[in-house]
Amino acid sequence: MSSSDGPEPRDQPREVSPYVELDRAAWAALAAQTQQPLSAEEVERVRGLGDELDLEEIQQVYLPLSRLLSMYVESAGQLHRKQQEFLDRPPRARTPFVIGLAGSVAVGKSTTARVLQQMLAHWPEHPSVALVTTDGFLLPNAELERRGLLGRKGFPESYDRKALLRFVVDIKSGKDEVLAPTYSHLIYDVVPDQMVAVKRPDIVIVEGLNVLQPAVTRDDGRTGLAVSDFFDFSVYVDAATSDIRAWYVERFLRLRETAFRDPASYFTKYASLSTEDAVAEARRIWAEINEPNLLQNVLPTRSRATLVLRKDRDHSVRYVRLRKL
């Protein structure tokens, strides 16, 4: 059994834990007095391939989370104003509130990011919410191939970490416009000369496998800055490794019937596989790339998150763990 197959072990009594843990019923109860902002049509638009996401899940899980995040954003704004007063500086707009969102391949983090973007934008206090995925900061395939890293795509070393750090630093520096590269899952590569502009939104969600990685230790023993150093809040989407593996295989089979059939797809070679061969190929890719990355790099960052969403086999969130203030 891997370390992600159950709750983290507790060596101390629950009452002295640095976390508050709420089961689904207790967490869902927090939404009782809050109106659902998304329509069924909006939920359908943000669903990911294979995610069992419906209005009930939105109501019981993501509505309380969006309200909690909204409270954090509002509190950050109040603290900013107090700090400006303390420093005897004129009032000015605060920098965007940055949320980091991490988790394994196929765990549903992209859907979680899209849902939170839509829900947070419905609160009048912060109508402008940008979502940036770290896929755009992957090194181009040609460069990965040159470095012998194409088979380790998604591992920390496959990203332009300096560019990603510079992007987040620029966001938190309050620049009027910050550019981020874009990525195409169809061609499985960064799109050359195509950028997305982030123009001082109220909130920026940065979603990716490795966004909670600690700073890298340099050759001289010193450590620099990490992307997560500039997060105001972070979320880790968690599940048992065996469940994520099953979701990955299911998603692969769906893609074989849809996106892989596009002649422009990088993965068009998989479209003609039989079901048996497709399952075998998906399991091979998982075992050789995604699971080692999860266990070596992604899962160890779970404890760095402000909040953990733990999913069950049916994709529903079973409990929420929140770091105490």
User: How much is the pLDDT for 178?
Assistant: 97
DSSP letter string, 146-165: HTT-GGGTTSGGGB-HHHHH
3-state helix, strand, coil in the chain (%, to 5): 45, 20, 35
Mean pLDDT of 30-37: 75
pLDDT, tens digit, 9 for 90 and up, residues 264-281: 999 999 999 999 999 999
The vertex-65 CA angle with 45 and 68, nearest 5°, equals 135
User: How much is the pLDDT for 7?
Assistant: 55
Computed on alpha carbons and rounded to an integer, the radius of gyration of the chain in Å comes to: 20
Report how far apart, in Å, the C-alpha atoms of 298 and of each of 292, 294, 295, 321 are.
9, 5, 6, 18
Hey, is 239 helix, strand or coil?
A: coil
Given a cut of 80, is residue 35 above it in pLDDT?
no
What are the residue boundaries of the structural domains of the chain, listed by start?
18-323
Residue 88 Cα to chain centre, angstroms: 37
By CB atoms closer than 10 A (0-12, 13-18, 19+), residue 177 is exposed
CB atoms within 10 A of CB 281: 16
pLDDT, tens digit, 9 for 90 and up, residues 280-325: 999 999 999 999 999 999 999 999 999 999 999 999 999 999 999 9
Mean pLDDT of 152-169: 97
Please tell me the distance from the alpha carbon of residue 177 to that of residue 198, in angstroms, as a whole number: 6
Per-residue pLDDT band at 51 (split at 50, 70, 90): low
Given a cut of 60, is residue 8 above it in pLDDT?
no
Given a cut of 70, is residue 52 above it in pLDDT?
no
What is the reported pTM? 0.91
CATH T-level fold of 18-323: Rossmann fold (3.40.50)
Averaged pLDDT score across all residues of the chain? 90
Given a cut of 70, is residue 141 above it in pLDDT?
yes
